[in-house]
A and B are shown apart, each in its own frame.
Chain A
């Protein structure tokens, strides 16, 4: 099973003729992802590493049938149009890899996705990888690394930090704990699939028996996961680390969208809410694998 992507997912790459798009399409294919077609306005008819390119998403759909996912590699100012195009064509999951996408563009994308009944991941996301089955985006960087770093098993990984998505997965696998799917929800404050949505997907996935979560200060995503645990909507164990203890109030760190204001979204608040709801929260990231192992032992024993 796994979530969001597997071998059967039919994938479109928008911006496939650009340097990033071409390189990442190669990574996806080499990892076994079913990359069917590409799209770049004005470049229809070209072929990139064996993948046919179309001018519009609708044209690609006419030629190949519907897509389950589209991964977008275009500069930030062009992301809105590309995403609206993918959503209008009814693509089930649109992945916005780009960084620095204006937030009002993201809200417009969210509105269109909601009306069309489809999902989007990101922006500012490394994507999603289901171990041994497929990847959307650039988690792992190289197919060989992705194969070496991530092994199959029962843990779902979800993170607000891109780098920490791969790190969390790698350290778990090094400790002998395998994974179903790794999801980076994206570093911005407003994202298509925040932590609670992904946690819900893991809850529904029969192969996932534990959720490892890397949270951050700012926003309310972690608190909402705590609510889901407290209400019984999520029954699988959650083991979490929350970054940003050293952050000072009122300072936004990087594009992480982490802002501490008015007592909401603080480190202490998130840790307390999760612990109250029954999650295991580790104090240092290095403790995460052991904590996951201990909880898993309990689950299986």
Chain B
């Protein structure tokens, strides 16, 4: 998650020399009592969770004794934020506050630079303050390279009516905040309130830092598990999806769960988009047809078929969905048959047991539609595929019609376990392994794999079975583009001797835990 928790942000601020209250983050009520005992003064117990307005949700509590701290922590640790339980609390000393301020570094999309915002009022939301007391707020666009000089910071505080020693202390504090924002490549780094204590120190009582998802790779020190702004702690399935995405830079796979715990019959759809704009439009269309979406998913930027396959498997691992809907922009510049093959492999393995409508418009759409519809005929559920001349609204409507008329087929076992090959020929790919059972291939008449292989890296050996026409190392380094033709086209048009194993770490265990095979 690219949004840091309060205690993570405070650790960064403290390291940069901006004071924070003494305290510690703990996972149990007993440990909270122990921290309070060590601090030996009144404390505040704060839930570590991605939410705003914690005080009004009972997620921040005050305690004068270790016993009270224990009770407060116990109460908070039993609460949920969104649907996610609170697992950590920060126990901190309570300070005598003489004045509250606000300071934040945010990014200005209009001026294309960081912006320092300060206010002589703090505590409440900065937007509210800006509305009710505009004279208490000042901003300064910053040069992203040269940064913030202390004199600029002093002048900014002067403009909101802060003077004397306090002005100097606050200026120093925001220069330190700037350094943290720059160092971690924050999209936002806000301290609210930034307080002046009764003994004249400037202390950050709270902080919210959001790190740029695209820069997370440069900051292993932050220990960010899932470089996505999800708005909640990552779910187990989101973690599995991020593992698929993390080291595979071919195209983008984004997955976000929007609902969990729903049942069949509630009209919840597994949604598979391609491209941000087309995806949003498709979700709008689903909403107009009265559907709810289980998830947001985007595979775009020319991903290989293997990535689309893994995305589809993850989507279908959400129990309770009534249908599968896919749509991108409708007129994609990328070749669409890659996505078609990824979907076919996933649907056949599952096997898909709900109606499905996919819109694969753009380059190569005729071939994509042919692959997706004709190769899934054996499933016994409707799978319809449309191109650029069918509007997304019509596709969503079609899904509604299919669902209304739908008779669930008798349950079928998944087809992920293959019989071991009698005469295997195997090579590894970037993220998986290809196997041809040469015993089957020997009696295959079509040999479609060689023709259909997109990068054309296969040939027939003298005995007439498919082998690599390049070295194994070249195949493993990415020349095999994992286009899946040698499995998907082979299953439909050949003798079924080709198979591409594409592991998804953690998915099988996840499914077993939810009663899915």
Query: Which residues of chain A are near B215, meaning CB under 8 Å?
Result: 102-104
| Interface contact A103-B388, CB-CB below 8 Å | no
Q: Does A293 interact with chain B (Cβ within 8 Å)?
A: no
Interchain CB contact (< 8 A) of B278 among A103, A138, A164: A164
Q: Could you tell me the distance in whole angstroms from the C-beta of B116 to the nearest C-beta in chain A? A: 14
Query: Which residues of chain A are near B277, meaning CB under 8 Å?
Result: 159-164, 187, 214, 216, 243, 256
Q: Could you tell me the distance in whole angstroms from the C-beta of B131 to the nearest C-beta in chain A? A: 10
| Interface contact A111-B113, CB-CB below 8 Å | yes
Q: Does A147 interact with chain B (Cβ within 8 Å)?
A: no
List residues 233-284 of chain B with CB under 8 A from any CB of chain A: 249, 252, 254, 256, 258, 273-281, 283-284
Query: Which residues of chain A are near B494, meaning CB under 8 Å?
Result: none
Residue of B with least CB distance to A215: B277
Query: Which residues of chain A are near B139, meaning CB under 8 Å?
Result: none
| Interface contact B329-A167, CB-CB below 8 Å | yes
Q: Could you tell me the distance in whole angstroms from the C-beta of A84 to the nearest C-beta in chain B? A: 11
Bound CA span A93–B417, Å? 53
| Interface contact B214-A166, CB-CB below 8 Å | no
Query: Which residues of chain B are near A171, meaning CB under 8 Å?
Result: 330-331
The interface bits of chain B over 352-369 (1 if a CB of A lies within 8 angstroms of the residue's CB, else 0) are 000000000111000000
Query: Which residues of chain B are near A101, meaning CB under 8 Å?
Result: 214
The stretch of A55-63, A201-209, A232-240, A244-252 that contacts the partner chain: A244-252
The interface bits of chain B over 294-313 (1 if a CB of A lies within 8 angstroms of the residue's CB, else 0) are 00101011000000000000
Q: Does B407 interact with chain A (Cβ within 8 Å)?
A: no
| Interface contact A189-B278, CB-CB below 8 Å | no
The stretch of B60-68, B104-112, B428-436 that contacts the partner chain: B104-112
Interchain CB contact (< 8 A) of A167 among B185, B273, B279, B330: B330
| Interface contact A111-B275, CB-CB below 8 Å | no
Query: Which residues of chain A are near B284, meaning CB under 8 Å?
Result: 243-246, 284
Q: Does A273 interact with chain B (Cβ within 8 Å)?
A: no
Residue of B with least CB distance to A109: B112
Q: Does A255 interact with chain B (Cβ within 8 Å)?
A: yes
Query: Which residues of chain A are near B230, meaning CB under 8 Å?
Result: 251
| Interface contact B393-A284, CB-CB below 8 Å | yes
Q: Does A142 interact with chain B (Cβ within 8 Å)?
A: yes
| Interface contact A163-B275, CB-CB below 8 Å | yes
| Interface contact A246-B280, CB-CB below 8 Å | yes
Interchain CB contact (< 8 A) of B112 among A100, A106, A245: A106
Query: Which residues of chain A are near B212, meaning CB under 8 Å?
Result: 102-104
Residue of B with least CB distance to A103: B212
Interface size on A, residues (CB 8 A): 66
Q: Could you tell me the distance in whole angstroms from the C-beta of B401 to the nearest C-beta in chain A? A: 18
| Interface contact B258-A220, CB-CB below 8 Å | no
| Interface contact B256-A256, CB-CB below 8 Å | no
Query: Which residues of chain A are near B393, meaning CB under 8 Å?
Result: 284-286
The interface bits of chain B over 211-230 (1 if a CB of A lies within 8 angstroms of the residue's CB, else 0) are 01111011000000000011
Q: Does A8 interact with chain B (Cβ within 8 Å)?
A: no
Q: Does B127 interact with chain A (Cβ within 8 Å)?
A: yes
| Interface contact B333-A103, CB-CB below 8 Å | no
Query: Which residues of chain B are near A149, meaning CB under 8 Å?
Result: 331
Bound CA span A216–B109, Å? 14
Query: Which residues of chain A are near B279, meaning CB under 8 Å?
Result: 253-254, 256
Query: Which residues of chain A are near B125, meaning CB under 8 Å?
Result: 262
Q: Does A229 interact with chain B (Cβ within 8 Å)?
A: no
Residue among A103, A106, A258 with most chain B CB within 10 A: A103
Q: Does B334 interact with chain A (Cβ within 8 Å)?
A: yes
| Interface contact A138-B333, CB-CB below 8 Å | yes
| Interface contact A166-B298, CB-CB below 8 Å | no
| Interface contact B280-A111, CB-CB below 8 Å | no
The interface bits of chain A over 119-143 (1 if a CB of B lies within 8 angstroms of the residue's CB, else 0) are 0000000100000000000111110
Interchain CB contact (< 8 A) of B329 among A138, A164, A245, A252: A164
Query: Which residues of chain B are near A110, meaning CB under 8 Å?
Result: 112-113
Q: Could you tell me the distance in whole angstroms from the C-beta of B80 to the nearest C-beta in chain A? A: 17
Known: A77-B217, A145-B363, A253-B296. A163 touches B113 (CB 8 A): no
List residues 218-233 of chain A with CB under 8 A from any CB of chain B: 219-221, 224
Bound CA span A171–B293, Å? 27
Bound CA span A166–B278, Å? 11
Interchain CB contact (< 8 A) of B333 among A77, A141, A160: A141
Residue of B with least CB distance to A19: B478
Query: Which residues of chain A are near B281, meaning CB under 8 Å?
Result: 164, 243, 285
Residue of A with least CB distance to B478: A19
Bound CA span A130–B404, Å? 45
Q: Does A117 interact with chain B (Cβ within 8 Å)?
A: no
Residue among A102, A190, A253, A254 with most chain B CB within 10 A: A254
| Interface contact A102-B229, CB-CB below 8 Å | no
Interchain CB contact (< 8 A) of A251 among B182, B252, B256, B389: B256
Residue of B with least CB distance to A241: B281
Interchain CB contact (< 8 A) of B109 among A111, A174, A220: A220
| Interface contact B287-A141, CB-CB below 8 Å | no
Q: Does A290 interact with chain B (Cβ within 8 Å)?
A: no
Bound CA span A263–B293, Å? 23
Query: Which residues of chain A are near B517, meaning CB under 8 Å?
Result: none
Known: A102-B218, A104-B212, A162-B329. A244 touches B280 (CB 8 A): yes
Could you list 15 A-B pairs, sorted by A, with CB under 8 Å? A99-B252, A102-B218, A103-B107, A107-B144, A110-B113, A111-B144, A111-B145, A139-B333, A161-B276, A164-B275, A221-B109, A247-B283, A253-B298, A254-B273, A254-B279
The 4 tightest CB contacts between A and B, nearest first, are: A161-B277, A163-B329, A256-B276, A141-B333
Q: A103-B215, A162-B277 are in contact. List 5 more A-B contacts (CB 8 A).
A: A163-B332, A167-B330, A170-B330, A243-B277, A284-B284
